[in-house]
Amino acid sequence: MESWNNSQTVALWLLIVLIIFIFLSVSIVYIIKVYLIRIHSEREKANELKLEFQENLMRDSIMIQELERERIAADLHDSLIGKLNSVKYLFYSDENWTVQDIQRKIEDSIKLTRHISHDLCPPLIEESNLVEIIEDLTYSNPGGINIKFTYSGNEYSGISKDSKLQLSRISQEILNNIFKHSKANCVDIHIHFGESYFGLYITDNGVGYDLKKLSKGLGQKNIRLRSEYLKAITVPKSRIGYGSSYLILTEKSNL
């Protein structure tokens, strides 16, 4: 007991406690510093990834817009102008063309003009409901394809113009891909207005495609870009020889 009362022993223990306290303090400061450095590094990395994503998004958006302009220009040059020239040549041809022949060619030109106009901007998009806008896309399909359009639930009131436009463009892109590449003769389009979630489902009975090969295409990027605007989940499915499907799912509040 006398040794504990010795001043040297007390001083030694105080020194040991002080050393332990300093060690723990330095360790805690070091750990906090490392933690803060890691957080800062992760934030910088996240900001870099976000910036890179935004740059890629902007670049893809510009490329998609340019491709859409080129497609519309091609439709005007190759299809509409060709049809109007054929009407003009009727008047200079030696063949016996009837009024019905001329009328039919003019009607074809009007239909093509309407299709191009719809590509640029769906008509009366603010006044029209979403069902009418999507259903209107089915009228411009090429011959030989049977398109079935259905919907379930009651359409939401107050769907924004931008949401209607994005869903119209998404549907248009999917249908254009089907018309050009699927060799399908049957397409089903279904819209579901759920209590909390909205769904757009498009299927075809075509030849199908390899998801890995087409996932990086501009058409798919166009769909993803517009889906991100709606905070939507996109679920493409396809098997070679078994057709394909596309599901767009988002919350009702996002529309």
Residue carrying structure tokens 């889906």 = 227
Rounded mean pLDDT, 229-233:
88
Mutual orientation of helices 161-177 and 130-137 as an angle, nearest 10°? 20
Q: Which pTM does this prediction carry?
A: 0.60
- Residue 162 reports pLDDT greater than 60: yes
Tell me the C-alpha distance between 55 and 58, whole Å: 5
Split into its structural domains, the chain has a count of 1
Tell me the C-alpha distance between 98 and 195, whole Å: 56
DSSP per-residue letters across 181-194: II--SEEEEEEEE-
- 3-class state of residue 237 by DSSP: strand
Average pLDDT of the chain is 79
Percent of the chain predicted with pLDDT > 70: 71
In this prediction, residue 250 has a pLDDT band, given cuts at 50, 70 and 90, of: very high
| Alpha carbon 180 to its chain's center | 19
Residue 174 lies in a domain: yes
Cβ 120 vs Cβ 76: under 8 Å? no
Q: pLDDT digit string (tens) for 95-124?
A: 666 777 777 777 777 776 766 666 666 656
Residue 144 lies in a domain: yes
Cα dihedral 137/143/148/154 (nearest 10): 20
- Residue 59 reports pLDDT greater than 70: no
Tell me the C-alpha distance between 80 and 195, whole Å: 44
Residue 6 lies in a domain: no
The radius of gyration of the chain from alpha carbons, rounded to an integer in Å, stands at: 32
Residue 7 lies in a domain: no
Looking up residue 250, the CATH number of its domain turns out to be 3.30.565.10
Residue 218 lies in a domain: yes
Q: Report the chain's terminal Cα–Cα distance, integer Å.
A: 81
- Residue 196 reports pLDDT greater than 80: yes
Residue 180 lies in a domain: yes
In this prediction, residue 247 has a pLDDT band, given cuts at 50, 70 and 90, of: very high
Tell me the C-alpha distance between 173 and 226, whole Å: 11
Residue 199 lies in a domain: yes
User: Could you tell me the residue range of the domain that residue 205 belongs to?
Assistant: 130-255
Residue 142 lies in a domain: yes
